[in-house]
């Protein structure tokens, strides 16, 4: 039994060492290619509410996001009332 505990302990220690060494590996010298950002983007989001106060909150958040992300042309929220939720998902 004592030998089994030593074997399990050694395996756990080896695994921890491998994980630690892997985490310290260098990043590749050539960065991955990136694509150019589009000139303007229109976002559309379906929200599960028809509550005017919540829709106003979403619009306020969207305005703040657009202010810090000039590539975003518009953000539209499509309201999905709770009563129509299941029907909309299944059709």
pLDDT in tens, 59-88: 999 999 999 999 999 999 998 887 877 888
15-33 burial, b for 16+ CB within 10 Å, e for fewer?
A: eeeeeeeeeeeeeeeeeee
CB 43 within 8 A of CB 72: yes
Please give the pLDDT value at position 50. Answer: 82
**Residues 2-40: pLDDT tens digits?**
776 776 666 666 666 666 666 666 666 777 777 766 678
CA dist 27 and 13 (Å) reads 25
Domain boundaries, the chain: 2-26+37-90
Q: Is the pTM of this model over 0.75?
A: no
C-alpha neighbours within 13 Å on the C-beta side of residue 64: 6
């Amino acid at each position: 039994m004592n030998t089994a505990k030593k074997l399990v302990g050694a395996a756990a220690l080896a695994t921890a060492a491998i994980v630690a060494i892997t985490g310290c590996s260098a990043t590749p010298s050539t960065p991955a290619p990136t694509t150019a950002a589009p000139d303007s983007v229109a976002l559309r989001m379906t929200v599960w509410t028809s509550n005017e106060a919540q829709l106003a909150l979403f619009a306020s958040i969207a305005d703040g996001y657009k202010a810090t992300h000039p590539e975003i042309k518009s953000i539209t929220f499509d309201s999905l009332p709770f009563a129509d939720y299941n029907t909309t998902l299944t059709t």
